């Protein structure tokens, strides 16, 4: 069984996707609309027009994996951002899946790899 976690990068396709698409159709959106290689091992996130259905597509070295979830009530919230593809963090994806408003979340400061550390005076 495959699990998703913080080690992955998550790319949200901001336009609504036709959820009748499966592996080939969604990987075509990644290649043609996002300009990315769908076989790079990253996770690609798609929503339908009503934002009640979400699909995650990933290539796991031996084949495609597709995870989907349909809400019976409500909708998924889109994060703010520009362009067709937005990079999500693991925590943002979990908040979206759990129905927590991204606008109301306050993040405490954390260390990130590659972040410059300010010198104390």
Decide if 78 is inside a domain. Answer: yes
User: What pTM, to 2 d.p., does this model score?
Assistant: 0.82
**Could you tell me the two tokens for 109?**
């400061």
| Token reading at 66 | 């597709």
Structure tokens at 40: 């790079």
List, for residues 5-38, the tens digit of each pLDDT value. 888 899 999 999 999 999 999 999 999 999 999 9
The pLDDT of residue 51: 94
> What are the pLDDT digits (tens) for 50-80?
999 999 999 988 899 999 999 999 999 888 7
Residue 117 lies in a domain: no
Could you tell me if 30 and 9 are in contact, meaning their C-beta atoms sit under 8 angstroms apart?
no
Residue ranges making up the domain that contains 91: 10-103
* 33 contacts 13 by C-beta, under 8 angstroms: yes
How many independent structural domains does the chain possess?
1
Residue 1 has a pLDDT of 45
Mean pLDDT of 93-121: 72
Residues 6+ positions from 82 with CB-CB distance below 8 Å: none
The predicted structure's pLDDT at residue 57: 96
């Amino acid at each position: 069984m495959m699990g998703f976690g913080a080690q992955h990068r998550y790319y949200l396709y901001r336009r609504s996707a036709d959820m009748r698409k499966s592996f080939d159709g969604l990987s075509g959106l990644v290649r043609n609309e996002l300009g990315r290689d769908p076989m790079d091992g990253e996770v690609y996130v798609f929503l339908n027009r009503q934002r009640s259905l979400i699909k995650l597509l990933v290539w796991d070295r031996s084949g495609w994996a597709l995870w989907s979830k349909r809400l019976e009530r409500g909708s998924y919230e889109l994060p703010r951002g520009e362009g067709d593809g937005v990079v999500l963090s693991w925590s943002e994806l979990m908040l979206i899946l759990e129905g927590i408003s991204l606008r109301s979340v306050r993040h405490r400061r954390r260390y990130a790899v590659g972040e410059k550390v300010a010198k104390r005076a």
